[in-house]
Amino acid sequence: MSRVMGPDLEKIIISQEQLENRVQELGKQLTKDYQDKQLIVIGILRGATIFLADLVREIDLQMEIDFMAVSSYGLATKSSGVVRIIKDLESTIAGRDVLIVEDIVDSGLTLKYIVENLQSRKPNSIEICTLLDKPARRVEGIDVKYNGFVIPDEFVVGYGLDYAERYRNLPYIGVLKPEIYTT
């Protein structure tokens, strides 16, 4: 059951059904690629939480799940480029296969910082799985091995993505009207 689009949204660009189908496809691919590996899935809070919850249920392997919380946006609509770790991992990742699960990759600044930070902890491998990729905004080269959807340079919310901590619970991805975030 899909909710009606709220008055703050311009349009829906990815439906609930499209999200469900793509998450299932990614889960099957990850199950295949991580057979016989020591997988630890790291969700980047808070935006990736809904995607991560749905994704790990589609991965048919034993795994560990941990979380990091970083901040580079605050209440802004663009990354400041200054990344702060607000919550670090509780697990040791040395010698393990790390899958970072992110909601959206746009500038690449935050993810570059996270990858460099995690590489210093000597994992066996690090790969990235993102729900959304916004290449038009890319500043840093980031290798995203698992990608849900490539989207245009629009301000999106829903399915975990927010503006000022609102809209995360929408079951689809919608474009926020500019007057909502420019006033």
Active site residues: 106
Strand partners, 127: 99
103 CB-side CA count, 13 A: 21
Please, what is the angle between helix 49-57 and helix 16-33, to 10°? 60
SS (H, E, C) 116-140: HHHHCCCCCEEEEEEEEECHHHCCC
